[in-house]
């Protein structure tokens, strides 16, 4: 009885402490809100110059949230529609055309197959000078987007210039649906392929539909491509994993300071493809929901992950409605894959003197185990089972992309050659490449290579140490050699430049689908996936923990998860 009394007394004491702590927190919140409101009022009333109340509030809110993480953000009423399109829905009213500004002029750079612009014969390369009789010169991207978008069924008039002639296009806006699954199909060797670009509404159903269609071909393996997929809705990620693993499997757990935000997600339905061999492709831009899918399938030993280490975003956001149709998106929890690891890379709680979040220290990285006993690690993203070295673009290629030189030549190529072969096999000839190189003769291709930057730094250091005279001849000699080498860059980087140019050209004929199909012939990660499917011994060795972390390309240390 006495022991029972002590237990009750202890419980009451704990409740009292928690209640006091809660009251103290409420008092601090209330106190600081009063201070903020009073400050805001006094500035608006008494500041010497005119102020904008909404701008002051937005600035204050943004500054406050900047001290947290980049995913916690305030969305005013004026930006709600853009927010929904970015994070929730894949649908909007428009004409189905992308634009680019080059030298102050607006050009169509991409047309979506089957939509209004395509039906009205709007083409990549058309220069847009008016939208609904409004001159677009000097307008920014947001203003142009606002002019092009609108309710389904409403008209939009474009005035374009093509081949020096002014043409009017009367177009009716349609509901534009940007699918989460941008492509699926068989890619040779009996392999099915699904490219998932985002995890917005209905993405789980889209992957399911693609999977059911591919299963009719009796594939010997499925590739789920999550490269460059920045994530989206957590629940959709769980639905997608459920397509490949049994019911009642733990997929992800989110844990927050607020216990109400601690939630466990398990699979709810029988799987569609529980046993077909599976490969997931990731890279450094695969984040959030992509990492939940890749990490959980890896932890459950259901898939082999191929590519490069993923981004490392282990945080969960939730939106909360605010007055006057605004909202705030708040990071409410961290998520943990089935093995118990959190793959969050940056520590936003402890920023450096410049206010920049740094990576978690190596000492905080912990080892976990998959269902079959393979070692996996927390922090720094999902590390692939098979690492494929990423190809980095050379300075000359980046320069040509930035100056839209591929864009211009692709438009010219389409005019001169109305028909080309299948996108799956399309390549430009050596003669085409020579013609492209010749078209650059009067173009500005100036750029500074990394070696040139180092040479500039070396010259600066020599000046500081009064050694310029001693090394002047060597520095000049090196500079001349670099200039000579740059002249040969078009030849030295031919294969890379050719691939980028082909991507631009093929989209003029076969749109996004053709661009994806054409890229398969150069895709090293896809080739690695096919190799695994054709080598069952290797696949089983990886999944049993006897052969993981194979490297394709530049060697790296095995089992290294931290830079």
Tens-place pLDDT, residues 292-345 = 999 999 999 999 999 999 999 999 999 999 998 899 999 999 999 999 999 999
146 within a domain of the structure (yes/no): yes
| Residue 69: Cβ within 10 Å count | 20
265 within a domain of the structure (yes/no): yes
pLDDT-derived band at 469, boundaries 50, 70, 90: confident
Same domain, 260 and 382: yes
> pLDDT value at position 454?
72
Give the catalytic positions in this structure: 288, 299, 313
pLDDT-derived band at 432, boundaries 50, 70, 90: very high
pLDDT-derived band at 197, boundaries 50, 70, 90: very high
pLDDT-derived band at 1, boundaries 50, 70, 90: very low
What is the arithmetic mean of pLDDT over 244-254? 97
149 within a domain of the structure (yes/no): yes
Domain-terminating residue out of 129, 161, 177: 177
pLDDT-derived band at 450, boundaries 50, 70, 90: low
Report whether pLDDT(24) > 80.
no
Same domain, 190 and 228: yes
> pLDDT value at position 484?
56
Domain-terminating residue out of 177, 211, 241: 177
10 within a domain of the structure (yes/no): no
Same domain, 158 and 239: no
Q: Which of 197, 230, 423, 385 has its CA nearest to residue 298?
A: 385
Same domain, 326 and 364: yes
Same domain, 329 and 467: no
What is the arithmetic mean of pLDDT over 181-198? 96
Same domain, 315 and 186: yes
Same domain, 245 and 358: yes
Choice between 21 and 434, residue whose per-residue pLDDT is larger: 434
What is the arithmetic mean of pLDDT over 442-455? 72
432 within a domain of the structure (yes/no): yes
| Cα-based distances in Å from 7 to 11, 389, 523 | 6, 60, 65
The 10s digit of each residue's pLDDT in 491-514 is 899 999 999 999 999 999 999 999
pLDDT-derived band at 156, boundaries 50, 70, 90: very high
pLDDT-derived band at 358, boundaries 50, 70, 90: confident
The 10s digit of each residue's pLDDT in 509-545 is 999 999 999 999 999 999 999 999 999 888 888 888 7
What is the arithmetic mean of pLDDT over 246-267? 93
Report whether pLDDT(551) > 70.
no
pLDDT-derived band at 487, boundaries 50, 70, 90: low
Same domain, 239 and 375: yes
Domain-terminating residue out of 177, 203, 219: 177
Same domain, 257 and 372: yes
38 within a domain of the structure (yes/no): yes
Percent of the residues in the chain that have a pLDDT greater than 70, as a whole number: 87
Cβ within 8 Å of residue 383, ≥6 positions away: 305, 309, 376, 377, 549, 560, 561
Please state the φ and ψ torsions of residue 323, each to the nearest 5 degrees: -60, 155
454 within a domain of the structure (yes/no): yes
> pLDDT value at position 420?
93
Same domain, 348 and 430: no
Domain residues for the domain of 337 are 181-390+544-552
Cα–Cα dist 179/481, whole Å:
50
Same domain, 237 and 373: yes
Average pLDDT, the chain: 86
> pLDDT value at position 91?
72
The 10s digit of each residue's pLDDT in 83-100 is 877 777 667 889 999 999
The 10s digit of each residue's pLDDT in 34-44 is 888 898 899 98
pLDDT-derived band at 3, boundaries 50, 70, 90: very low
What is the arithmetic mean of pLDDT over 178-191? 95
4 within a domain of the structure (yes/no): no
Q: Which residues face 181 on adjacent strands?
A: 196
The 10s digit of each residue's pLDDT in 398-412 is 999 999 999 989 999
Q: Which residues face 224 on adjacent strands?
A: 194, 280
| Cα-based distances in Å from 399 to 24, 52, 433 | 57, 41, 17
Which element (helix H / strand E) includes 18? helix 2-46
> How many structural domains comprise the chain?
4
> pLDDT value at position 5?
39
The 10s digit of each residue's pLDDT in 258-279 is 888 899 999 999 999 999 999 9
Same domain, 356 and 263: yes
Domain of 258: which CATH number? Answer: 3.90.226.10
Q: Which of 398, 409, 496 has its CA nearest to residue 447?
A: 398
Cα–Cα dist 444/373, whole Å:
56
Cβ within 8 Å of residue 49, ≥6 positions away: none
Which conformational region is residue 492 in: left (phi greater than 0), alpha (psi within -120 to 50 degrees), or beta? Answer: alpha
| Cα-based distances in Å from 76 to 72, 80, 411 | 13, 7, 40
Cβ within 8 Å of residue 270, ≥6 positions away: 246, 247
> pLDDT value at position 544?
80
């Amino acid at each position: 009885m006495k022991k029972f009394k002590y237990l009750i007394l202890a419980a009451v004491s704990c409740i009292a402490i928690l209640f006091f702590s809660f009251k103290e927190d409420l008092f601090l919140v209330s106190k600081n809100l009063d201070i903020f409101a009073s400050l805001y009022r006094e500035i608006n009333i008494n500041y010497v110059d005119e102020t904008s109340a909404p701008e002051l509030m937005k600035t204050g809110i943004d500054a406050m949230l900047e001290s947290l993480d980049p995913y916690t953000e305030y969305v005013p009423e004026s930006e709600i529609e853009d927010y929904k399109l970015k994070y929730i829905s894949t649908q909007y009213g428009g004409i189905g055309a992308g634009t680019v500004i080059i030298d102050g002029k607006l050009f169509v750079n991409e047309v979506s197959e089957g939509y209004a612009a395509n039906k009205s014969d709007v083409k990549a390369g058309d220069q847009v000078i008016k939208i609904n009789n409004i001159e677009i010169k000097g307008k920014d991207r947001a203003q142009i987007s606002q002019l092009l978008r609108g309710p389904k069924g409403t008209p939009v008039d474009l005035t374009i210039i093509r081949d020096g002639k002014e043409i009017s296009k009367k177009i009716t806006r349609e509901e534009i649906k940007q699918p989460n699954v941008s492509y699926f199909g068989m890619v040779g060797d009996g392999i099915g392929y699904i490219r998932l670009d985002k995890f917005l509404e209905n993405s789980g159903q889209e992957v399911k539909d693609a999977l059911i269609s591919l299963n009719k071909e009796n594939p010997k393996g499925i590739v789920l491509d999550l490269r460059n997929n920045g994530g989206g809705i957590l629940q959709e990620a769980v639905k997608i994993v459920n397509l490949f693993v049994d019911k009642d499997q733990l997929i992800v757990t989110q844990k927050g300071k607020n216990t109400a935000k601690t939630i466990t997600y398990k699979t709810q339905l029988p799987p569609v493809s529980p046993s077909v061999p599976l490969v997931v492709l990731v890279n450094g831009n695969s984040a959030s929901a992509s990492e939940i899918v890749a990490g959980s399938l890896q932890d459950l030993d259901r898939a082999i992950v191929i590519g490069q280490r993923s981004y490392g975003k282990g945080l969960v956001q939730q939106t909360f409605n605010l007055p006057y149709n605004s909202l705030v998106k708040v990071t409410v929890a961290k998520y943990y894959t089935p093995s118990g690891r959190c793959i969050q890379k940056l520590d936003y709680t402890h920023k450096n003197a410049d206010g920049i979040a740094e990576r978690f220290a190596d000492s905080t990285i912990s080892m976990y185990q998959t269902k079959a006993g393979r070692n996996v690690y927390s922090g720094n993203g999902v590390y692939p089972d098979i690492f494929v070295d990423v190809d980095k673009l050379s300075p000359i290629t980046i320069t040509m992309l930035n100056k839209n030189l591929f864009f211009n030549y692709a438009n010219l190529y389409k005019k001169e050659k109305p028909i080309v072969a299948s996108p799956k096999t399309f390549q430009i000839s050596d003669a085409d490449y020579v013609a492209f190189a010749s078209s650059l003769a009067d173009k500005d291709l100036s750029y500074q290579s990394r070696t040139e930057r180092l040479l500039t730094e070396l010259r600066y250091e020599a000046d500081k140490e009064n050694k310029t005279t001693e090394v002047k001849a060597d520095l000049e000699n090196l500079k001349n050699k670099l200039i000579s080498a740059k002249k040969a860059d078009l030849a030295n980087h031919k294969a890379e430049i050719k691939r980028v140019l082909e991507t631009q050209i093929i989209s003029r004929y076969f749109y996004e689908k053709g661009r994806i199909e054409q890229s398969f012939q150069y895709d090293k990660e896809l080739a690695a996936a096919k190799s695994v499917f054709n080598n069952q011994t290797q696949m089983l060795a990886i999944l049993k923990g006897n052969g993981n972390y194979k490297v394709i390309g530049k060697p790296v240390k095995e089992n290294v998860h931290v830079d």
